[in-house]
Amino acid sequence: MIVAIYSRKSKFTGKGDSIENQIEMCKAHVQAHINKDAEFIIYEDEGFSGGNINRPEFKKLMNDAKNKKIDLLICYRLDRISRNVSDFSSVLETLQENKVDFVSIKEQFDTSSPMGRAMIYIASVFAQLERETIAERVKDNMLEMAKNGKWTGGKIPLGFKSEKSYFYDDEGKKRQQTSLVHNTEDLEFVKFLYEKYLELGSLHKLEVYTHQNNIRSASGKLFEKSTLKLVLQNTIYVKANSSVIDYLETKGCKVYGEIDNEHSLLTYNKTEAVHKNGKQTKANKSPSEMFAAVSSVIGYLEPELWLRVQYQFDKNRDTFPRLGKTHNSLLTGKIFCGSCKSRLIVQHGNVSPKTGKRHLYYNCYLKKVSKKQLCDVKNVKLERVEEAVLQTLKNLSYNKNLFLSNLKNINSKDNNNELLSLNKQLEEKNSQINVLVDKLSKDHDDLITDVLLNKITELKKECNIIENNINALKKENLENENNKLEFSLVETLISKCSYIDKLEHSEQKQLINTLIDKVYYFPPDELGDDKIEINFVGAFDLLNA
């Protein structure tokens, strides 16, 4: 019997139900109650939550179950597999389809009977309930801490550093807490940004100023508008007084704690995790759900300065024009400046008196925001670049055999003869083992028995090596088959490029997105010649033009 032992723990500890303890308890249970001669395969995931089944060793385990490599799956406790009912249900269904039994030691459940399967489903319901209850309790505790103005973690704001301290609670237990302390040099820079924003009058102009003067963050990145806005609206910098509280309350934000014109405010519950287009992202909550609390952090900016900046934001928001949707170019998000590697954006030019159409250009983003201080490449007509890309793809289709020959060579290796040879060797070794086992059953001489056992052990090791080589070749063959499918896809897409100029705009864009990773535009050289460089996606990287 081949028994799979699965163990999981959310974080490393050396005690209790650690990975090692879980494995030993599972082995002992199998040998005592199921099969003392069972062989074990160990799957360990340490540092992974039971909230989902997206874990490397667990994926490997399920793949082995589908390939009939195991007879039984055992774990220390049900929630080691999953705390989610739907996930657990799908796992159990997969195990049953592949005739793999399941045993959980702690709950004493197994799937060899209908009652056992039913009890496992019931237990998994309670496991998920426990998980959701814990998550809700943690969230409530975090919010209560927040209402008392305590730092609950997250990205440390510019101008602060975190400091750990220890204390003893009412029960005498040692606790740790993290607090924010001033970094005076950075806070002076924050004050400079507030004053410069008021001087320039807009976030865009402030961004341009930081780019022109090559002002960067501690990590070496140029300041984007989104980063500057977070700094300029953060309440952690202001010495909270009644005017600040009144301003926040007019925005629908509840404020907790007593102000003292010295300590700053921390804001909480501003965003929530949401699923959008199959991905998890953050979304802003409504103002009524947000709140602020007087913190233990000493404020740095005077209320008048902070409020003037907020009023300027409000003024700009009311007067900022509503712009229409930008041009949906073929290379949006794909095209970059060959000189500075920044993205190229679409810029609207004048209307042509001859055609009545507006000229469109690709413009370097870094050039735009730095007012040519950090990059000064000339704009290029959008149509000119896109026509060049389309023509390159069309030319590629005419010479596809030349470009695809390298891909074909990758898939040309044939392992079938080597596989036949290894399988034949394995068959011969197993046959030798069977003969020796037969002799062993008939001979009772201790000396001969030892010789036979040693020989059988040696042959088994050789069989294991051969089996590993067979599995490696099978894996390589599977990869080759996948490469052949990818090669077929490449061939189909490149063939379609032969009439790409006749396709609809959306079809052209889809083809470009599938084939091309990035396009770099290089401005004219000394001879006045400009060029584009196309980098293709994935297997297409052999085709870089």
DSSP string for residues in 274-326: EEETTEEEEEEPPGGG-EEEEEEEEP-B-HHHHHHHHHHHHHHHHHS----PP
What's the predicted TM-score (pTM) here?
Answer: 0.47
**Which of 267, 288, 319 is the C-terminal boundary of a domain?**
319
Q: Are residues 287 and 370 in the same domain?
A: no
Q: pLDDT truncated to tens, each residue of the chain (545 aa)?
A: 999 999 887 654 444 457 788 888 899 999 988 888 899 999 988 878 777 788 889 999 999 999 999 999 999 887 888 776 667 777 887 888 898 988 888 877 777 666 666 666 666 566 666 667 766 776 666 666 656 667 777 788 999 988 887 777 777 777 777 788 899 999 999 999 999 999 998 998 899 899 888 898 888 888 988 899 999 999 999 999 999 999 988 888 888 888 899 999 988 777 776 655 545 567 777 766 778 888 888 999 999 999 999 999 988 886 654 444 455 688 988 899 998 888 899 888 888 777 778 889 999 988 888 888 888 888 999 999 999 999 988 887 877 776 666 555 544 555 677 888 888 888 888 888 888 877 776 766 667 777 777 888 888 888 889 988 888 887 776 566 545 545 556 677 778 888 898 888 888 887 888 778 899 999 888 888 889 998 876 544 434 44
User: Does residue 384 belong to any structural domain of this protein?
Assistant: yes
Spell out the residues 6+ positions from residue 535 whose beta carbon is closer than 8 angstroms to its own: 516, 517, 518, 519, 520, 541, 544
> Which pLDDT value is given to residue 413?
55
Q: Dmax over Cα atoms in the chain, in whole Å?
A: 108
Using CB atoms within 10 Å of the CB of residue 339, give its burial: 0 to 12 exposed, 13 to 18 middle, 19+ buried: middle
- CATH code of the domain containing 7: 3.40.50.1390
Of 78, 109, 85, nearest in space to 8 by CA: 78
Q: Are residues 190 and 131 in the same domain?
A: no
Q: Are residues 73 and 209 in the same domain?
A: no
Alpha-carbon distance 215 to 206, whole Å? 11
**Which of 110, 139, 168 is the C-terminal boundary of a domain?**
139
CB atoms within 10 A of CB 202: 15
The count of structural domains within the chain is 4
| Residue 344, phi then psi, degrees to nearest 5 | -100, 135
User: Does residue 161 belong to any structural domain of this protein?
Assistant: no
Alpha-carbon distance 447 to 451, whole Å? 6
Q: State the DSSP code for 498.
A: G
Query: In the structure, how many helices (H) and strands (E) does the chain have?
Result: 15, 18
Reduce the secondary structure of 11-26 to three states and give it as a string: CCCCCCCCHHHHHHHH
Task: Identify the bridge partners of residue 279 per DSSP, sorted by sequence position.
Answer: 276
Alpha-carbon distance 267 to 152, whole Å? 11
> Which pLDDT value is given to residue 65?
93
Q: Are residues 57 and 8 in the same domain?
A: yes
> Which pLDDT value is given to residue 145?
62
Q: Residue-wise over 343-372: b if at least 16 C-beta within 10 A, else e?
A: ebbbbeeeeeeeeeeeebbbbbbbbbbbee
Q: Are residues 40 and 133 in the same domain?
A: yes
Q: Are residues 381 and 429 in the same domain?
A: no
Q: Are residues 380 and 518 in the same domain?
A: yes
Q: Are residues 368 and 508 in the same domain?
A: yes
Task: Identify the bridge partners of residue 162 per DSSP, sorted by sequence position.
Answer: 180
Gyration radius of the chain over CA positions: 33
Q: Are residues 94 and 193 in the same domain?
A: no
> Which pLDDT value is given to residue 448?
76
- The residue segments making up the domain with residue 448 are 412-483
Pairing mode, strands 2-9 and 39-46: parallel
Amino acid identity at 333: G
> Which pLDDT value is given to residue 322?
46
User: Does residue 147 belong to any structural domain of this protein?
Assistant: no
Q: Are residues 228 and 294 in the same domain?
A: yes
- CATH code of the domain containing 237: 3.90.1750.20
> Which pLDDT value is given to residue 13?
47
Under 8 Å between Cβ of 521 and 336 = yes
**Which of 139, 161, 187 is the C-terminal boundary of a domain?**
139
Task: Identify the bridge partners of residue 361 per DSSP, sorted by sequence position.
Answer: 347, 381
Q: Are residues 128 and 276 in the same domain?
A: no
Sign of the four-CA dihedral 44, 47, 53, 55: negative
Q: Are residues 35 and 133 in the same domain?
A: yes
User: Does residue 498 belong to any structural domain of this protein?
Assistant: no
Under 8 Å between Cβ of 282 and 270 = no
